[in-house]
Amino acid sequence: MATPTEPTRGSPERPRRPGHPAGAGPVDTGADGARSGSAGPDGFDEFWRTTLAEHTGREAARFEPADSPLRSIDAWDVTFSGFDGHPVTGWMLAPAHGGSRGTVVQFLGNNTGRGIPEQWTLLPSAGWSTFVMDNRGQTGPASPGDTPDPVGSGPQIVGRMTSGIQQPESYYYRRLFVDAVCAIDAVRARQGPGAGPLVVSGGSQGGVTALAAAALREDISGALVEVPLLCDIPRSVEAAADGPFTQIRDYLRTRRGDEETVLRTLSFFDGVHFAARAQAPALFAVGMLDPVCPPAGVLAAYEAYAGAGKSLRTYPFDGHEHGQWQHRRRQLEFLEGLTERR
């Protein structure tokens, strides 16, 4: 196990699954080193090709100067067309005097929104423009959201993990992941040709959204993936002690006999399957005591990640916080490396 300041490369050892006998050996891997089963369900690629073809490419984004006391950072209030043209908000922040080194598209955790521009000053202060995508239909006291989700769904447990879970086409995360692709479209249209690197970033729910974006777009320069949610979902539903995965357990307790249907839906959104298709360099983070996103799921996504130049930071005594400001420093070093490669 690596220390918090040492990257681990290759395929790290995974914690054993509850009920899996100690000493039973590592999880099977394919010839390319990806975890067995990382390709996903039949029809995975066609599902996402069809989804993007049918539900993206609507109106151009609007960037309006935001009212902010920031002086060294310029801020814009953004509205772009997400899934099916639904309006989604975001913030765009950039160094006020030009010289942006590239753009980081920031995806957010569960039950949070875009908040206010002053929450997102670290990366612009380091020379990186930052686009913060709001979560449709989510908000929270620490970081409120502004984007509604106009799509209804069948019965669900409180939270978004079971919203529309009856089939892949209606599942909440289909809309959120399409929003992420549309956010990148908006950034690319504003940047124009010859812009610097474009990096996707997020933790927890934002982490799996970053994985999805890195897989669904070919023009991603790097990915910052922190304790991603929705990875190795069957195992994580069993193992999670707290957080969104428990919503799925609660749902299955009310819908006994629906396990096969639910797990089939979720298989189209598993971060492991997106990781197996992503090609950009990536920096992962895992807290080995994380009760919300079990480390086995994070490590499964890391094992499956197909991009060259991947690295993993493990935090042996951390939970969902996964390194906090020490990890922010590691991320800045990763971004510095991307500019050196160009």
Whether the CB-CB separation of 276 and 181 falls below 8 Å is answered with no
Out of 20, 125, 250, 320, pick the active-site residue.
Answer: 320
CA 16 to chain centre: 24
Q: How far is residue 278's CA from residue 280's CA, in Å, rounded to a whole number?
A: 6
Go through 80-97 and write b for each residue having 16 or more CB atoms within 10 A of its CB, e for each that does not. Answer: bbbbeebbbbbbbbbbee
81, 129, 201, 204: which is the annotated catalytic residue? 204
Residue 129 appears among annotated catalytic residues: no
Confirm whether 320 is a catalytic residue: yes
- Kindly tell me the sign of the dihedral angle through the C-alpha atoms of 48, 53, 55, 60: positive
**Residue showing tokens 């639904």:** 86
Of 77, 179, 185, 290, the catalytic one is: 290
**One-character DSSP codes across 155-206:** S--SSSTTTTTTSGGG-HHHHHHHHHHHHHHHHHHHH-TT---EEEEEETHH
125 is catalytic: no
1 closest CA partner among 17, 15, 12: 12
Contact call for residues 322 and 315 (beta carbons, < 8 A):
yes
Instruction: Show which residues are catalytic.
Output: 204, 290, 320
